[in-house]
Structure 1
């Protein structure tokens, strides 16, 4: 399938973006037909099939969270409106720039003619981190670990949940808790390690996650396009609208989803114990506070 890649950045970064184009050309990628670099939202979003919104205002020293939300509301309101005007109505929009959940909700609200189900935010990086931690613990490959869940926000309040995960051992899928045999770790160190993994990467390399984030974006888009294997689900930030787990409507919340025909569906029927419920509500509360703050700015932006 030939790909046309359109790269959007602000005007002062166009020279740097040109360097990215040169590198993409030098990769000699088999399916890459054309690369266009632009600082125009109209050019970038014209008739696109997939829009991956990576750029956001990063939090700077001394900046309060409300200041960060205010800056990003402006960016994602503009991009949402541009998508609404120029993109195909079937476009799949993936928001990566943080705070990803609330930025995605801002873009969604700014693009009323595009189905809200077409918007999602990236929690696949956290999902992959969770699988990796279990695989390291058991000395198995990541492909052996299935159906971990990231609930809630792509932040330190997220809830990495292994209670429904399985691990392939001896030719059969074994519940993760049975395979690991360390409940204290699965309810403690496992959760905190995944929650703080982004900060650990920054501390180690003085930059945020790059390669792992790019891999997670590819995983996320591939599953939207080609679906999830039968019996398996992945984590994705999607709109909570009549969901089966009691999360307030109109939040952009990470759920376990299965995907078929380019449409996601929240996995139903998973048992939620008291421990999980408490964790899920903590991250929902944070998202509700983010939404309220962002929407104050959205209404007057």
Structure 2
């Protein structure tokens, strides 16, 4: 039998985890032949609800799930973990400044990063889903100096998938028919869904879309899609976030066969970004690692949009500078 892989999920009693855990249990991360152990981390008051989630997982009788553990202790939850989905985060309160939100989340992601540093398996991969995801990932990464920095990612895949879906709907193709789509920067309203390199059926997507539609409808809609879903559904997007988290982790592990994905990874200064920021970039996954697509020529418009994200992420980094020492 293949060795059992431990997968940790934080915020395990929440909405996103409720969709995410069933996909993990089904083998959608490591594949249909890899036995797994689920580690569910929650705050102490939510342990009862987490127990209910575990009961349902057990009742689903997934053959790959060999064990489920529940804990409010990050040290125990991440001990021996090969993959971690950091979903639990403090939501923004009414009237709360973004800097206050970042500081509050630092108290969550700093200790989790340290627990990962001290106890996770050597092959650990960490995907931060809880917002503000990019800077939360940066905080966790800095708290784990013994783990390679590139093992900490933030999720831009939801924005990437939203962009593909909108293009498919507008142009009448399947979402899987599009290539070379990228969403740059921060998982925020500043993000830049970029179709300059995108192709479908041998055609450039930019030649198929009206420019005004792209600038005034497409870009804002992708950036504000989460708010649109809250307005319509009355709740934040959960199932789509969970599905996108699975997509990211699966591709990270198994590779993308040369196809582009949007992944927020530690920047090395590519395309005018500042080194060290967790920045959404065009990537391919090979051999268990993300590699940035190199050699792209950027227009002034693209550079301006990327620079706006770079500025915002620098401001976020400055706001939590005391947590990064």
TM-score normalized by the length of structure 1: 0.94
In 2: Cα distance, 1:25 partner to 1:161 partner: 42
Match of 1:235 in 2: 262
Structure 2 contact 257–286 (Cα < 8 Å) conserved? no
Deviation at 1:31, TM superposition (A): 2.1
Which residue of 212, 223, 232 corresponds with 1:184? 212
Deviation at 1:66, TM superposition (A): 1.3
Which residue of 76, 84, 94 corresponds with 1:51? 84
What count of residue pairs does the alignment treat as equivalent?
Answer: 292
Deviation at 1:3, TM superposition (A): 1.2
Deviation at 1:167, TM superposition (A): 1.2
Which residue of 272, 283, 291 corresponds with 2:298? 272
Deviation at 1:297, TM superposition (A): 4.7
Check if 1:27 corresponds to 2:60: yes
Deviations 1:12-66 (A, max 9, x none): 1000001111221222323222211111112110111001100111001121111
Which residue of 88, 100, 103 corresponds with 1:67? 100
Check if 1:212 corresponds to 2:245: no
Instruction: State the superposition RMSD in angstroms.
Output: 1.2
Check if 1:263 corresponds to 2:289: yes
Question: Helix, strand or coil: the match of 1:78?
Answer: helix
Which residue of 261, 272, 291 corresponds with 2:317? 291
Match of 2:119 in 1: 86
Q: Which runs of 4+ in 1 moved over 4 A?
A: none
Deviation at 1:298, TM superposition (A): 4.8
TM-score normalized by the length of structure 2: 0.87
Which residue of 170, 179, 194 corresponds with 1:161? 194
- Superposition pairs of residues 105-120 of structure 1, within 5 angstroms: 105-120=138-153
